[in-house]
Amino acid sequence: MRFSNSFLDEIRDRVPISDVIGRRVSWDKRKTNVSRADYWACCPFHGEKSPSFHCEDRKGRYHCFGCGVTGDHFRFLTELEGLSFPEAVQTIADMAGVAMPVADPAMEKREKERTTLLDVMELATQFFQDQLQTANGARARAYLRDRGLTGRTIETFRLGFAPDSRNALKEHLAGKGVPKEQIEACGLVVHGAEIPVSYDRFRDRIMFPILSSREKVIAFGGRAMSPDAPAKYLNSNETELFHKGNVLYNFSRARRATQGANGEGTIIAVEGYMDVIALHQAGVENAVAPLGTALTENQLELLWKMTPQPVLCFDGDGAGIRAANRAADLALPHIKPGRTVRFALLPDGKDPDDLVRNDGRAPFDKVMSQAKPLAEMIWGREINTGSFETPEAKAELEARLRQLVSVIADENVRRHYQQDMRDRLNGFFQPQFQNRGGGERRSFERGGGGGKGRGRGGLDEPRGARLTGGISDRLARSGLVRGHIEVPALRESVLALTVVNHPALMLDEYDEIASIDYDSRELQRLWSGMLGAAAAVASQHLTREYLVERLEEQGFATLLQSLEQQIRNARLWIATEEAAMEDAREGYRQALAFHKRSKALRWQKIELEREIAEATETGNGEVIELLMRALQEVHFEGLRLENQEAIIDGFGVLSGRVKKVAASH
């Protein structure tokens, strides 16, 4: 039986290729990066001891760098398991939960008609390309030249021109033997019961062919040459070939560009055809665009198939910012670990074409380097909606953020967003409180003005409010609650530098090491670079010298020096290169335990303070008292944790050190 391309694409897209291959191989824990859906194993097609067989879910392909085999889901099953092609299709369809198509003469006829329509669209594309080079296309050529497009770029994107005629294309296709039913089915003419004679849909327009993922022309976009045209841009209507919300302009070319960047490239979504083309000419080949409408869920899924973190680039004017906000709301429910979006906002009044036309790609690259995470985009939008001087306004902002975050389907990501927004709220409101001056702050905490239990305005202070402020300050000083600081916390520095200096830890502790969640943004970046460097080399070559060299190449030399100095100043020699492996392992495990406990205490503190605030609003004194006692316990647990953590400095008799803690007793 013959299977349609659309059916094969559907079941391939539903089943990660790692699920198919994972039934026959064991993934190498050290080189595999599950969060990026990037897998390595010993090749099942030839015997080997070190993993050189690689598959990536995003591409849906496998390749062995040892024997050279390559393919997709179906080839793996037919070549390794000896299945016939229909049997391989049946296996993937079962895994996808999709019923196999029943042999249907009508469906086969429809597939043949679809293929024929693609042939018609190719004839139309060639006609438009030819028309651009005629005398009728002179104005269109001048326009494209004024926009800075070269002949090579025009040819690459197969740009054309639709003459100002009601029947030029229709007569051309009819002369090629194309029946009117096929011309109408392609959406190339306007027709209907109320239209006696059909006429060309595109007239006096520069034509932009729109390609499918298989690089076949399935539709057109046309830009009007006349300033009086009702629509500046006009797209093909919905047809058997074309569903606008499921297609991205330049999709297949951009996908190739990301795959050519060793899988490290991202995808940039811009607003229009000309933006994509101008960027391509400037060397930015990984840009796509929705087709004249706001980004849809299906288009967002297409972006995520190509990259886990696409960048959505919008004009910096009001319309662009509104479009960015709509896209943020669209993405928020669907984000997952390793799947999100970033936002790049162009200078007001500029589009990508403007930025790259005169100065090349450098100004655009600068904008890309400043792309904002989704959380920052949401936060910035909400705090720019008004003033938050009153408790009511602050409560409204908090409620709005809570509602926005609640739509995130993934439980873990939702929890982290909730914590992130609470941290931002605390930082946003706290400076307003602190900047009122020391005297006023003392007045609020101690009941100022001599009135016992009174605040600045003489109102009764909520029960436990003074204790809350004191505990919060002491927790901040204890290191359990940190603001935005450049130097990482000592505990985090110990963790990071111990692994860098003793990379052999990754052979046994890889999964846990890969999942360490640092507060320091610098260490987050360092960790990502380190894991990537470790995944790219065989275990016998994973040495400290190799790792440091790779990290320095990535720009982390200064950070590594800073960490080393911080560790040596604190005399935490177990994290240094000189420490024995047994000592380093013990120190790493203790530091990790303290790190996890510290994060848990911080989370408890944030939750308790939120519950105290809610109980204060309702005036429930009994609940406040219970919560305050719990908050005190968290504080004292934090102090105990700090005292215990000092013991790390005493470990290491295997390296010739004496336990200082023991000597002190």
Phi, psi of 191 (to 5 degrees): -150, 170
CA distances from 421 to 32, 380, 400, 428, 620 (A): 32, 11, 11, 10, 25
- Taking residues 653-663, report their average pLDDT: 36
Confidence of residue 2 (pLDDT cuts 50, 70, 90): low
pLDDT, position 452: 36
Structural domain tally of the chain?
Answer: 4
Q: Do 629 and 584 sit in the same domain of this protein? A: yes
Residue 200 burial (10 A CB sphere; 0-12, 13-18, 19+): buried
Look up tokens 């991205």; give the residue: 248
Distance of CA 297 to the CA centre of its chain: 15
- Taking residues 249-273, report their average pLDDT: 79
Alpha helices in 1-104 (DSSP H): 5-14, 17-21, 73-80, 85-96
Q: Do 13 and 41 sit in the same domain of this protein? A: yes
Domain ranges, residue 128: 105-242
Q: Which comes out higher in pLDDT, residue 367 or 506?
A: 367
Q: Tell me, yes or no, whether 475 lies in a domain.
A: no
Q: Which comes out higher in pLDDT, residue 569 or 145?
A: 145
CA distance 554 to 566: 21
Give the helix/strand (H/E) hosting 221.
strand 217-224
Q: Tell me, yes or no, whether 641 lies in a domain.
A: yes
Q: What percent of the chain has pLDDT above 90?
A: 34
Look up tokens 């610098």; give the residue: 522
Average pLDDT, the chain: 80
Q: Do 286 and 335 sit in the same domain of this protein? A: yes
Q: Which of 96, 128, 163 is the last residue of a domain?
A: 96
* Listed range (29-43, 482-496, 510-524) with the worst mean pLDDT: 482-496
What's 305's domain CATH number? 3.40.1360.10
Confidence of residue 106 (pLDDT cuts 50, 70, 90): low
Confidence of residue 540 (pLDDT cuts 50, 70, 90): confident
| CB 644 within 8 Å of CB 594 | yes
Q: Do 87 and 143 sit in the same domain of this protein? A: no
332 pLDDT above the threshold of 80: yes
* Listed range (78-92, 164-178, 609-623) with the worst mean pLDDT: 609-623
Q: What is the pLDDT of residues 116-166, one digit of tens each?
A: 899 999 999 999 999 999 999 999 999 999 999 999 999 999 999 999 999
Q: Tell me, yes or no, whether 125 lies in a domain.
A: yes
Q: Tell me, yes or no, whether 474 lies in a domain.
A: no
Q: Do 220 and 311 sit in the same domain of this protein? A: no
CA distance 474 to 489: 16
| CB 289 within 8 Å of CB 275 | yes
87 pLDDT above the threshold of 60: yes
Q: Tell me, yes or no, whether 417 lies in a domain.
A: no
Q: Do 206 and 286 sit in the same domain of this protein? A: no
* Listed range (369-373, 438-442, 571-575) with the worst mean pLDDT: 438-442
Which residues fall within 8 angstroms of residue 325, CB to CB, at 6 or more apart? 377, 381
Distance of CA 272 to the CA centre of its chain: 21
What's 52's domain CATH number? 3.90.580.10
Q: Do 263 and 233 sit in the same domain of this protein? A: no
Q: Which of 74, 96, 118 is the last residue of a domain?
A: 96
| CB 383 within 8 Å of CB 428 | yes
CA distance 411 to 419: 12
Q: Taking the model in full, what pTM does it have?
A: 0.56
Q: Tell me, yes or no, whether 341 lies in a domain.
A: yes
Structure tokens at 201: 């849909």
Q: Which of 69, 96, 123 is the last residue of a domain?
A: 96
CA distance 343 to 314: 8
169 pLDDT above the threshold of 90: yes
Look up tokens 């932009």; give the residue: 208
CA distance 159 to 277: 10
568 pLDDT above the threshold of 50: yes
pLDDT, position 480: 34
513 pLDDT above the threshold of 80: yes
Q: Do 496 and 644 sit in the same domain of this protein? A: yes
Q: For CA atoms 104, 107, 113, 119, give the dihedral sign.
A: negative
Q: Tell me, yes or no, whether 234 lies in a domain.
A: yes
CA distance 524 to 329: 26
Q: Do 29 and 113 sit in the same domain of this protein? A: no
Which of 137-141, 344-348, 576-580 tops mean pLDDT? 137-141
Q: At what angle do helices 362-369 and 352-359 cross, to 10 degrees?
A: 130
- Taking residues 316-321, report their average pLDDT: 80
440 pLDDT above the threshold of 70: no
- Taking residues 329-337, report their average pLDDT: 93
pLDDT, position 218: 94
Q: What is the CA radius of gyration of the chain?
A: 31
Q: What is the pLDDT of residues 467-501, one digit of tens each?
A: 333 333 333 333 333 333 346 778 888 888 999 99
Q: Do 24 and 114 sit in the same domain of this protein? A: no
Q: Tell me, yes or no, whether 514 lies in a domain.
A: yes
Q: For CA atoms 532, 537, 542, 547, give the dihedral sign.
A: negative
Nearest to 288 by CA among 303, 269, 273, 302: 269
Q: Do 207 and 303 sit in the same domain of this protein? A: no
pLDDT, position 643: 55
Q: What is the pLDDT of residues 271-308, one digit of tens each?
A: 889 999 999 999 999 999 998 778 999 899 889 888 88
Which residues fall within 8 angstroms of residue 422, CB to CB, at 6 or more apart? 606, 610
How many of the other CB atoms lie within 10 Å of CB of 293? Answer: 10
What's 130's domain CATH number? 3.90.980.10
Q: Do 647 and 504 sit in the same domain of this protein? A: yes
Distance of CA 436 to the CA centre of its chain: 40
